[in-house]
Structure 1
Amino acid sequence: MRTLGSVVVRDYMQTQVVTFTADMEVMTAINDLVKHRISGAPVLDADGNLVGVLSEKDCLKVALTAGYEGVPAGIVAEYMTHDALTVSPDTPILEIASRFLDSAVKRYPVVKSGKLVGQISRADVLRAINEIC
């Protein structure tokens, strides 16, 4: 019988993830967030390495820049969080649940050897709880 203590991120992470590039127009990225009903997405370089995360909160800066200053919105790199918090596919799901409780983060990129392999969200942890408990 599986217990929640034996489950790791790879068991519940999403492997098909919306991603952005740093040079992408931020308005295009915002459109993708809205279209896919997600709160953020990893930002990758040309080699698939994680270079940041663009969240809803980061995107709110666009309104201030474009709205108050009357300038074009710009590119993802100008708004993204560069030092993204990540997890490994082998991170215990209980550790991720604890991290979610201790921070405002809603999703973590899952990285192996510097490459994005998936993403784990609060909803994924809830799915694990629902299936196992």
Structure 2
Amino acid sequence: MGIKSFQGARKNQNATEEIPLKVSDYMTTKLITFRPEQSVEEVIDALISNRISGGPVVNDKNELVGIISEGDCIKHISDSRYYNMPMEDGSIEKKMVRNVETIDGNMNIFDAANKFLNDKRRRFPIVEDGKLVGQISQKDILKATVMLKSQNWKK
């Protein structure tokens, strides 16, 4: 009696499927952005209604000029309450973080995850040719790992 093979059909070993591992493959491109002249109240309303924790601040040319977060808004509210002053209708230009660290859209998704851990940030904007093109968040990294969990993560 002959020996039967239980391996089944083999896949072509030379065919390598391109696994998307770049930040640009997982970044969000439809962003909720803010303008420097917007009020803190407008930003708070947008953060709550869109269920986001912050967002990039851009000028008329879509150039990144800062980032505003829930924490920046809370600090504004806290300061006004602490000094028993009414909240001023000031713009977010004075409240936003100006020196925003960005990352390259071509960065490996796992290097980006490491950057999140080391820099303790919740989001990184992606800028190309001086224009804001997207943003990657910690949640985007988690979504990418779920999508890739059945793949071989070598690269």
TM-score (norm 2): 0.79
Letter in 2 for 1:98: N
Cα deviation for residue 73 of structure 1 reads: 4.7
Match of 2:50 among 22, 33, 36: 36
Q: For 2:24 and 2:130, how far apart are their aligned partners in 1?
A: 16
Q: Which residue of 2 aligns with 1:46?
A: 60
Asked if residue 88 in structure 1 is aligned to residue 104 in structure 2, the reply is yes
RMSD, matched Cα? 1.4
Bigger shift: 37-46 or 59-68?
Answer: 59-68
SS of 2:106's partner is coil
Higher relative contact order (CA 8 A, sep 6+): 1
Question: Aligned pair count?
Answer: 131
- Which structure 2 residue ranges, 5 or more long, are not aligned? 1-16, 150-155
- Match of 2:146, SS state, is helix
Does residue 126 (structure 1) correspond to residue 124 (structure 2)? The answer is no
Q: Is the 8 A contact 1:66 1:73 kept in 2?
A: no
- In terms of fraction of residues, the more helix-rich structure is 1
> How far does residue 49 in structure 1 lie from its aligned partner after superposition?
0.3
Unpaired runs of at least 5, structure 1: none
Identity of aligned residues (%): 35
Structure 2 residue aligned with 1:57: 71
The match for 2:12 is none
Going by fraction, where is strand more abundant, 1 or 2?
1
CA contact (8 A) 1:48 1:115 kept: yes
Q: Which has the larger radius of gyration?
A: 2
Runs of 4+ more than 4 Å apart: none
Task: Output aligned runs, 1:7-26, within 5 Å.
Answer: 7-26=21-40
**Cα deviations by residue, 1:3-28 (Å, 9 ceiling, x for unpaired):** 5xx61111000110000011111110
Deviation at 1:68, TM superposition (A): 2.2
